[in-house]
């Protein structure tokens, strides 16, 4: 009888497609029990996941909150927590979460939580947001009682996250933002993680084929052997930096990955710098992973095809472990240049698909359409 008298609160996790939906589904497995435990067993929670691109064509938190409130009212949901991998800004600050206790809604920007332990951080934010919203919607709860919920769970555990300003006309009544350099770094790392840069290597199939072919030919060229054994470590490092830099620059320029804003506001410029920085880091990680992979492939290929007597007669150096490593290092630089040139065979869409998350691709298509118009 006691269980049947408990209030059941329906919590909907409204998630953008792709990564936010994955996070939401994982949260939904344990969220009901954790919420019931933290609320003192006074109520039960039913958690549902709705995957929907609610951020389409919008980056403004106020607009997104209105959409969430409208969806919640139309579907008669008790509490709605929306999750997106879109970086959001308000008052030139990096938004973490918006809460509207009056409407029982919250908006969470996942990149602002950083790139490490994302699932655990998202779980803590969602739990505290739901408990705060559920408390404000309890019978007899006064409006003033939920205007200032406890700050500790957000500000303490997720520092450098702090309360942020909210305009009177906004639906949100409480906002948390990421302040300072640490907040910027956390957001940048979160954006790079959402882009999943490790997908860049398999995504560039033609470029990778060109790099492997270049590396295979270079490995059996006696001129390359002589150059590799004559180069010191500083020159090999320069070759590495130059080849990786060439690939990064070529990918960004050829596929038009660089974001340009036509708006002159400081917030627009700040967003543009953030997007371009995340692009640069994403492509750089992919290029470095590609370089390391080419070095390993070149090393294995050299072990398989090279003959010690032929190598020694051509270079007057023994084919020992050091020269195997030096040769594969130099060949990786040559192959990376070949891969950069081969990336020109890829379509721009293929490169964007490899470099960006689904939501980021949609955002860039939208921006290109605005600039084209």
What is the CATH classification number for the domain harbouring 112? 3.40.390.10
The total domain count for the chain is 2
Distances (CA, A) of 285 to 198, 248, 257, 347: 7, 9, 15, 20
**Would you place residue 146 in the very low, low, confident or very high pLDDT band (cuts 50, 70, 90)?**
very low
Determine how β-strand 7-15 pairs with β-strand 43-51: parallel
Same structural domain, 169 and 239? no
Based on the fold, state whether residues 124 and 46 are members of the same structural domain. yes
Is residue 206 domain-shared with residue 351, that is, in the same domain?
yes
| Full DSSP string of 227-284 | HHHH--HHHHHHHHHHHHHHHHHHHHHHTT--------SHHHHHHHHHHHHHHHHHHH
- Domain edge (last residue) among 157, 181, 205: 181
Q: Is 78 contained in some domain?
A: yes
- 150 with 207, same domain? no
The range of the structural domain enclosing residue 118 comes to 8-181
Q: Quick one: 243 and 348 in the same domain?
A: yes
The answer for residues whose C-beta is within 8 angstroms of residue 323's C-beta and 6 or more apart is 228, 229, 311, 315, 317
In a domain, 227, yes or no: yes
Residues 297 and 350 in one domain: yes
Q: What is the pLDDT of residue 296?
A: 95
CA–CA distance, 243 with 287 (Å, rounded to integer): 10
Q: Is residue 35 part of a domain?
A: yes
Q: Are residues 60 and 87 in the same domain?
A: yes
Residues 16 and 148 reside in one and the same domain: yes
Residue 373 pLDDT grade (very low, low, confident, very high; cuts 50, 70, 90): very low
Inside any domain, residue 369: no
Domain boundary at 155, 181, 207, which? 181
Tell me the whole-structure pTM to 2 decimals: 0.76
149 shares its domain with 237: no
List the single range of 71-75, 236-240, 301-305, 347-351 with lowest mean pLDDT: 347-351
| The two three-digit tokens of residue 144, written as one number | 């003033």
Partnered with residue 12 across adjacent β-strands are 48, 80
- In a shared domain, residues 78 and 222: no
Q: Is the pLDDT of residue 295 over 60?
A: yes
Same domain, 212 and 173: no
Tell me: do 90 and 124 sit in the same domain: yes
In a domain, 254, yes or no: yes
**Is the separation of the CB atoms in 203 and 353 below 8 Å?**
yes
- pLDDT of residue 224 exceeding 90: yes
Could you tell me the two tokens for 340? 């950069």
Q: Is residue 327 part of a domain?
A: yes
Residue 175 falls within a domain, yes or no? yes
One DSSP character per residue, 122-182 reads HHHHHHHHHHHHHHHTSTT--HHHHSS--SHHHHTTTTTEEE----TTSS-SEEEEE-HHH
| Residue 319, domain member (yes or no) | yes
Mean pLDDT over all residues of the chain? 81
Distance, in Å, from the CA atom of 5 to the CA atom of 44, rounded to the nearest integer, reads 10
Record the tokens describing residue 219, joined without a space.
Answer: 């490995």
């Amino acid at each position: 009888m006691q269980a049947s008298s408990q209030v059941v609160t329906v919590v909907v996790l409204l998630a953008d497609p792709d990564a936010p939906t994955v996070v939401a589904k994982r949260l939904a497995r344990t969220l009901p029990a954790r919420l019931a435990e933290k609320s003192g067993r006074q109520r039960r929670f039913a958690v549902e996941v709705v995957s929907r691109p609610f951020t389409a064509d919008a980056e403004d938190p106020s607009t997104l909150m209105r959409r969430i409130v409208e969806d919640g009212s139309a579907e008669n949901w008790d509490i709605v927590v929306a999750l997106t991998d879109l970086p959001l800004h308000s008052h030139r600050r990096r938004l973490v979460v918006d809460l509207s206790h009056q409407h029982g809604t919250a908006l969470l920007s996942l990149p602002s939580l950083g790139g490490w332990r994302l699932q655990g951080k998202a779980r803590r934010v969602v739990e505290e947001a739901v408990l705060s919203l559920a408390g404000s919607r309890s019978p007899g709860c006064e409006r003033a009682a939920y205007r200032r919920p406890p700050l500790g769970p957000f500000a303490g555990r997720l520092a450098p996250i702090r309360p942020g300003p909210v305009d009177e006309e906004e639906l949100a009544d409480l906002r948390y933002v990421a302040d300072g350099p640490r907040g910027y770094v956390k957001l940048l790392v979160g954006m790079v993680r959402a882009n999943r840069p490790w997908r860049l290597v398999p995504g560039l199939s033609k470029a990778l084929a060109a790099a492997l072919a270049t590396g295979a030919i270079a490995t059996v060229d006696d001129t390359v052997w002589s150059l590799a054994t004559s180069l010191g470590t500083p020159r090999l490092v320069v070759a590495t930096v130059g080849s990786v830099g060439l690939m990064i620059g070529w990918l960004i320029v050829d596929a038009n990955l660089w974001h340009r804003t036509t708006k002159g506001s400081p917030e627009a410029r700040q967003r543009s710098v953030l997007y371009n920085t995340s692009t640069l880091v994403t492509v750089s990680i992919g290029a470095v992973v590609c370089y390391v992979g080419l070095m390993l492939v070149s090393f294995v290929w050299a072990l398989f095809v090279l003959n010690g007597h032929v190598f020694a007669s051509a270079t007057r150096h023994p084919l020992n472990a050091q020269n195997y490593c030096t040769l594969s290092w130099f060949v990786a630089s040559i192959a990376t240049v070949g891969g950069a040139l081969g990336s020109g065979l890829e379509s721009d869409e293929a490169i964007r698909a490899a470099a960006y998350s689904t939501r980021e691709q949609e955002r860039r298509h939208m921006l290109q359409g605005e600039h084209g118009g």
